[in-house]
Chains A and B, each alone.
Chain A
Amino acid sequence: EPEVTQTPSHQVTQMGQEVILRCVPISNHLYFYWYRQILGQKVEFLVSFYNNEISEKSEIFDDQFSVERPDGSNFTLKIRSTKLEDSAMYFCATGTSGEEQFFGPGTRLTVL
């Protein structure tokens, strides 16, 4: 069964550094999402992406964050200048419609 994959599984970075988290969607999926879960807290929506543009974003998704599909397959989340509070599990999700979302295994980001 096809699955969403994410790399790396764990990323450790220094505060102020830029990180790029990568997601490979299921092949026929057109809708892409990023969520995050800070330890001990709820899973929170960050952004949705469709037809090469952001379709919806949350208050968390400020100028520090950006998303793109650089090569038509990978879907990336860039965090420009990481802060301690960005430490979290980041989940990519993809779907064929705007309703059902299939999640990847997540990338654990640790900012030191």
Chain B
Amino acid sequence: AQSVSQHNHHVILSEAASLELGCNYSYGGTVNLFWYVQYPGQHLQLLLKYFSGDPLVKGIKGFEAEFIKSKFSFNLRKPSVQWSDTAEYFCAVIPTGRRALTFGSGTRLQVQP
């Protein structure tokens, strides 16, 4: 069965700092990869996704992620965070052709003004 690891559980940054959140997965076949964000009091929202093609994908609000197949990684990045980016971030994978998202444990990002 596949699994997803997010190594940073809680990250605190100042505004304008750069962000990188790690995500690694374990699965032997091809996968689709996702980052979801949950702002305080809101539901899970899709930030970006990777199915195939260019391994560098851009999402909403200036976020991007890079799929490195050899490292089974899909790290999330943003060059300059804002206070409004304070949220919990979840990496998730689906093996190609399946339906069940497997989530990581989430990373709580706190951006201080």
Chain A residues engaging chain B, CB cutoff 8 angstroms: 3-4, 31, 33, 35, 41-45, 48, 50, 55-56, 58, 91, 93, 98-106
With A99-B32, A99-B51, A99-B94 already in contact, the answer to whether A104 and B100 are too (CB < 8 A) is: no
Interface size on B, residues (CB 8 A): 22
Whole-angstrom CA separation of A43 from B44 in the bound complex: 11
- The answer to whether A100 and B103 have CB atoms under 8 Å apart is no
- The answer to whether B102 and A91 have CB atoms under 8 Å apart is no
**Chain B residues, CB < 8 A from A35:** 101
- The answer to whether B102 and A45 have CB atoms under 8 Å apart is yes
- The answer to whether A100 and B46 have CB atoms under 8 Å apart is yes
Q: List 10 A-B contacts (CB under 8 A).
A: A35-B101, A43-B103, A43-B106, A56-B98, A98-B97, A98-B99, A99-B51, A100-B49, A105-B43, A106-B43
Whole-angstrom CA separation of A45 from B100 in the bound complex: 6
